[in-house]
């Protein structure tokens, strides 16, 4: 076993960074930081048919946005490179040949059609489908006959019979698998490119990975990988399989599940704060000491341990994430909140792409009214609707307020006070409300509610004098006159 802690995150470049992958990367990063070890980012791109252009760059960008940094990878190099599987084909080829020469692997010439027929027959007999081992002991003559027909073989690993593969998992304890239930599995495709289970073992060994920390869905791969380690006579790393992430309905999450936003890039586009996403993901299947829930990345690294990673499934609570992001927004610098929210107002066509100094100040003031309640940047569009329309359609609740008998007197008095103002700001507007109270004798809800509804169209909202200031004198007085008429 390597003395230095070395962990890795090895995504396939098949699309955007999924939240499950982001959690795995985070757990590896936190463990490496906690142990003073190294975090390696490796790209598993052997499944060429599923690879997507620019996916590598997007994966790296998403991790950088989260603040998860690596010590070795395709972009920074390192002494154990290359860090992309397809650049390591010569390394894999040498190790495949070693297993073939030692009789621990063999060529299999079964076609897809034959394999499918075999599988269907096993299912029909009520058996667990697995490769039958038909080509396990072919003679040289039989091999030449297949090759004469132009059949290209795969390479299969010869699974030892009658063995129990025991894994000491740092999260799940002892887990065992029977080799007889696995069947000889493919380690190299017909074109010689290795399968995931083979490439990952060779890479993890040669890169001196000490701990393999990943999601529970990889647990079924582990016995195959352990058998490969043993076939080469290599030390087996410590495995740690974190719990599944369930959706809010406590069902296993799939990438087609629409109850959750599933990709890190989408959270970035919606205006979530990376610190909140990191904090939330860390608590999906790991529990800190004590009751505290808000942690910086540095604080998480100080506390993180595999002993506190849970076996029980973690539920992705969308309300909890919204709450947590709101905590970060409330405590953020206003300029950072503006940077989060302003692009959404521009994208929605509420504000121009290029703002004058006056427009920028106005937008900042409007956004500041909602900093306390904002859950994510894109929410600002709906929240600030009242500032971007001249005419208001009063709903039933608002109309009920406006139908109260004292309303004409309150609105008339308030309009008169506003028209007499020399300065249009929140302080002066607050004074106008007080003067209206004095003149009409109305107070509390009887005073404030009609003014709020008439000027904003809403029965609740941000601090009223500030909102009225930002709507503007011309629009506010127009709204009051229209109602009184």
Residues with Cβ within 8 Å of 470's Cβ and at least 6 positions away in sequence, in order, are 362, 365, 366, 369, 387
Residue 50 Rama label (left phi>0; alpha psi -120 to 50; beta): alpha
For 284, which DSSP code? S
Q: Which residues of 324-351 are buried (b: 16+ CB within 10 A; e: fewer)?
A: bbbebbeebeeeebbebbbbbbeeeebb
Catalytic residue among 255, 330, 350, 364: 255
Largest CA distance in the chain: 109
Report helix, strand or coil for 105: strand
CA distance 354 to 290: 48
Report the C-alpha gap between 37 and 49 in whole angstroms: 34
Cα–Cα distance for residue pair 426/369, rounded to 1 Å: 12
Report the alpha-carbon distance of residue 78 to residue 89 in Å, rounded: 18
* Gap between the Cα atoms of 170 and 354, Å rounded: 54
Q: Quick count: other Cβ atoms within 10 Å of Cβ 4?
A: 11
Helix (H, G, I), strand (E, B) or coil at 157: strand
Closest of 59, 7, 35, 30 to residue 295, by C-alpha? 30
Q: Which of 377, 269, 284, 276 is nearest to 324 (CA)?
A: 276
Establish whether the linkage from the previous residue to 191 is cis, with ω within 30° of 0: no
Residue 427 and residue 420: Cα distance in Å, rounded? 14
330 is annotated as an active-site residue: no
Question: Over the range 154-175, which residues count as b (16 or more CB within 10 Å of their CB) and which as e?
Answer: bbbbbbeeeeebebebbbbeeb
Whether 186 and 154 have beta carbons less than 8 Å apart is answered as yes
Instruction: Name the residues annotated as catalytic.
Output: 255
């Amino acid at each position: 076993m390597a003395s230095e802690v070395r962990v890795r995150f090895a995504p396939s470049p098949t699309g955007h960074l999924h939240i499950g992958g982001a959690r795995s990367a985070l757990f590896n990063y936190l463990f490496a930081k906690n142990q003073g070890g190294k975090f390696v980012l490796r790209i598993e791109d052997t499944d060429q048919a599923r690879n997507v252009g620019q996916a590598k760059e997007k994966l790296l960008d998403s991790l950088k946005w989260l603040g998860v940094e690596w010590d070795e990878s395709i972009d920074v190099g390192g002494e154990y490179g290359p860090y992309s599987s397809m650049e390591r084909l010569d390394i894999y080829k040498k190790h495949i040949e070693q297993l073939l020469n030692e009789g621990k692997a063999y060529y299999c010439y079964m076609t897809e059609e034959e394999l499918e027929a075999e599988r269907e027959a096993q299912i029909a007999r009520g058996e667990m489908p697995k490769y039958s081992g038909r080509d396990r002991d072919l003679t040289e003559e039989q091999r030449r006959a297949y090759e004469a027909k132009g059949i290209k073989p795969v390479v299969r690993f010869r699974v030892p019979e009658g063995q129990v593969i025991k894994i000491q998992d740092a999260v799940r304890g002892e887990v065992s698998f029977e080799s007889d239930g696995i069947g000889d599995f493919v380690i190299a495709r017909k074109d010689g490119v290795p399968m995931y289970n083979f490439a990952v073992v060779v890479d993890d060994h040669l890169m001196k990975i000490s701990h393999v920390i990943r999601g529970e869905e990889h647990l079924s791969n582990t016995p195959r990988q352990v058998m490969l380690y043993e076939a080469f006579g290599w030390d087996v790393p410590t495995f740690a399989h974190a719990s599944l992430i369930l959706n809010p309905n406590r069902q296993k999450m799939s990438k087609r599940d629409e109850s959750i936003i599933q990709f890190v890039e989408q959270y970035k586009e919606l205006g979530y704060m990376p610190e909140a996403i990191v904090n939330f993901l860390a608590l999906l299947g790991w529990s800190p000491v004590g009751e505290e829930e808000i942690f910086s990345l540095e604080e998480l690294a100080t506390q993180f341990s595999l002993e506190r990673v849970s076996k029980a499934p973690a539920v992705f609570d969308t309300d909890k994430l919204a709450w947590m992001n709101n905590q970060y927004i409330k405590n953020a610098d206003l300029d950072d909140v503006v940077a989060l929210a302003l692009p959404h107002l521009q994208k929605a066509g509420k504000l121009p792409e290029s703002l004058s100094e006056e427009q920028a100040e106005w937008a900042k003031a409007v956004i500041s009214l909602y900093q306390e309640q904002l859950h994510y940047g894109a929410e600002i569009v709906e929240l600030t609707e009242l500032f971007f329309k001249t005419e208001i359609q009063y709903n039933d609740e608002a109309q009920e307020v406006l139908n109260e008998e004292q309303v004409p007197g309150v609105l008339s008095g308030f309009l008169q006070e506003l028209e007499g103002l020399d300065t249009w700001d929140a302080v002066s507007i607050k004074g106008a409300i007080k003067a209206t109270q004095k003149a009409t004798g109305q107070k509390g809800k009887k005073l404030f509610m009609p003014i709020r509804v008439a000027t904003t169209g809403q029965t609740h909202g941000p601090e009223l004098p500030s909102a009225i200031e930002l709507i503007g004198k011309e629009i506010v007085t127009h709204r009051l006159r229209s109602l009184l008429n």
